[in-house]
């Protein structure tokens, strides 16, 4: 991830269409992340709320470790295109790549209010 210290609050979003709409039609606080029904986590890796909105795609390996397998600039995606990426990530299409390791303690559920969402 671009942000190596950031912690994210994980919210479940099990409907892929809803997630595609949420990420393409709204801007979320920089500590926001969403978990799909298949366990993929989409974590906000944008530099600020006014910038292009980028999300790291996080997948949990069989060893329990979280890895970032892709970065998607959701600002450049239509809802339909992002839905395709969500499905691909859930299907493991991106799993061959490891862009970064993400310690599990940085994925918080629940998430206490932090400087990014205060």
- Provide the binding-site residues for Zn ion, judged by CB under 5 A: 31, 114, 116-117
Nearer to Zn ion, 51 or 97 (CB): 51
Nearer to Zn ion, 67 or 111 (CB): 111
Q: Provide, rounded to whole angstroms, the least separation between the CB of residue 110 and Zn ion.
A: 11
Residue 108's DSSP bridge partners are: 9
Q: Provide, rounded to whole angstroms, the least separation between the CB of residue 116 and Zn ion.
A: 5
* Surface-to-core class of residue 85, CB atoms within 10 Å of its CB (0-12 exposed, 13-18 middle, 19+ buried): buried
CA-to-CA distance for 26 and 52, rounded, in angstroms? 12
Q: Provide, rounded to whole angstroms, the least separation between the CB of residue 105 and Zn ion.
A: 15
Q: Provide, rounded to whole angstroms, the least separation between the CB of residue 114 and Zn ion.
A: 3
Nearer to Zn ion, 23 or 69 (CB): 23
How many other C-beta atoms can be found within 10 angstroms of the C-beta atom of residue 72? 22
Nearer to Zn ion, 33 or 89 (CB): 33
The answer for residues whose C-beta is within 8 angstroms of residue 45's C-beta and 6 or more apart is 1, 2, 3, 6, 54, 55, 56, 71
Please name which of 31, 64, 87, 116 lies closest in space to residue 72, comparing C-alpha atoms. 87
């Amino acid at each position: 991830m671009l942000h190596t210290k950031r912690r994210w609050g994980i919210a479940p979003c099990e409907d892929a269409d809803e997630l595609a709409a949420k990420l393409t039609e709204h801007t979320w606080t920089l500590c926001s992340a969403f978990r799909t029904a298949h366990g993929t986590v989409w974590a906000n890796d944008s530099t600020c709320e006014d910038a292009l909105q980028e999300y790291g795609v996080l997948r949990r390996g069989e060893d329990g470790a979280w890895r970032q397998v892709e970065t998607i600039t959701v600002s450049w995606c239509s809802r339909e295109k992002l839905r395709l990426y969500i499905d691909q990530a859930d299907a493991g299409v991106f799993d061959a790549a490891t862009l970064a390791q993400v310690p599990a303690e940085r994925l918080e559920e629940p998430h206490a209010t932090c400087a990014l969402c205060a």
